[in-house]
Amino acid sequence: MPDNPVTIGPYRCGRGEPLLIIAGPCVIESEELILSVAKRLRDLRDELGIPIVFKSSFDKANRTSVTSFRGPGLEKGLEILAKARAVTGLPVLTDVHEPAQAEPVAAVCQVLQVPAFLARQTDLVQAIAEATGRTGGVINVKKPQFMAPEDMIHVVRKCEQFGNPRVLLTERGAMFGYGRLVNDFRCIPVMQGHGTPVVFDATHSVQMPGGETTGGQREMVPFLARAAVACGCDAVFFETHPDPSRAKSDGPNMIPLDELPAILRQLMRLRAALSTEGGN
């Protein structure tokens, strides 16, 4: 069986544990931006008493257009993420797109993320599971937009088979026709039934794919996040940026950094109410 709760640095995520927040800019635009956002998230962790994992990508390999900004790449990106971790003490999450990236990323980051479109790629899952198995890290697998939550048990079993039972599963919506994602909140208890903690990705769930760049409805993020917490998710994933209108990736669905505290306070109150009533 997979571990539940899962230990991530100083935190525990899963049954009976506080709501975990995963947050940060979509992509590493600059060292200055990453350190600035990471420090603000550290301060929020301290102010609100809520566990926060910092997230950003060194390479967005799944861009729609060949001209889209992808990030600084593996070497420079890991250097910046290591500095953010050292300066703030926050655990760090980033996504991995190729098996060869797993070892160097696992040396820096506590959580390695399998992107949704790649969750069925056995070689990638194996490389990440083996690398994190050696370092004590965690795997976060995003449920593909084309997979049923019941079928994610096979990804969990792969991770276990390849040496790491510390697995998170993330719900991020399913494709409905063209250009829309919808959330079936039954996915949260169904995937928790696989024995893993479940993360709800509140910002990618409001993406509107299509065209040269992906659109989004960031104004819908708080509604979906509250619904997911009400359904008992173990963590919520937000991409956030000081000025999303100027972000180089996923700006339309990212939460402005100065709006994040109010959303987190709402989620904490909702989580507390559920705990009082005997919910998850």
Per the DSSP assignment, residues forming a β-bridge with 140 are: 113, 168
Residue 60 in domain: yes
**b (16+ CB within 10 A) / e for 66-84:** eeeebbbebeebbebbeeb
At residue 65, the pLDDT reads: 60
- 278 found inside a domain: no
Residue found under tokens 């799944």: 62
Is 36 part of a structural domain of the chain? yes
How much is the pLDDT for 208? 76
Neighbour count for residue 236 (Cβ, 10 Å): 25
Beta strand 167-171 pairing with 174-175: unpaired
Instruction: Flag residues of the chain having pLDDT under 70.
Output: 62-67, 179, 209-214, 277-280
Give the relative orientation of helices 153-161 and 122-135 as an angle to the nearest 10 degrees.
50
Residue 2 burial class via C-beta count within 10 angstroms: exposed 0-12, middle 13-18, buried 19 and up:
buried
The answer to the question of residue 235 being in a domain is: yes
Six token digits for residue 132: 């994190």
So what's the pLDDT on residue 70?
A: 83
| pLDDT value at residue 61 | 72
**pLDDT score recorded for residue 221:** 95
Which pLDDT score is estimated for 210? 58
Q: Is residue 280 part of a domain?
A: no
Please state whether beta strands 111-114 and 11-13 pair in parallel, antiparallel, or not at all (unpaired): unpaired
Q: What is the pLDDT of residue 63?
A: 58
Q: Does residue 277 fall inside a structural domain?
A: no
Q: Give me the domain span that covers residue 132.
A: 6-270
Q: Would residue 214 count as lying in a domain?
A: yes
Number of domains in the chain: 1
In Å, how far are 22, 43, 131, 202 from 169, measured between CA atoms?
13, 27, 18, 14
How far apart CA 239 and CA 161 sit, in angstroms, is: 31
Q: For 181-209, what is each residue's pLDDT tens digit?
A: 899 999 999 999 999 999 999 999 997 76
Residue 90's CATH number: 3.20.20.70
pLDDT for residue 214: 63
Assess if residue 1 is contained within a domain: no
For 196, phi and psi rounded to 5 degrees?
A: -105, 155
**Side-chain-facing half-sphere of 230: CA atoms under 13 Å:** 8
User: 3-state SS of the chain?
Assistant: CCCCCEEECCEEECCCCCCEEEEECCECCCHHHHHHHHHHHHHHHHHHCCCEEEECECCCCCCCCCCCCCCCCHHHHHHHHHHHHHHHCCCEEEECCCHHHHHHHHCCCCEEEECHHHCCCHHHHHHHHHHHHHHCCEEEEECCCCCCHHHHHHHHHHHHHCCCCCEEEEECCEECCCCCEECCCCHHHHHHCCCCCEEEECCHHHEECCCCCCEECHHHHHHHHHHHHHCCCCEEEEEEECCHHHCCCCHHHCEEHHHHHHHHHHHHHHHHHHHHCCCC
Residue range 126-183, pLDDT digits in tens? 999 999 999 999 999 999 999 999 999 999 999 999 999 999 999 999 988 776 789 9
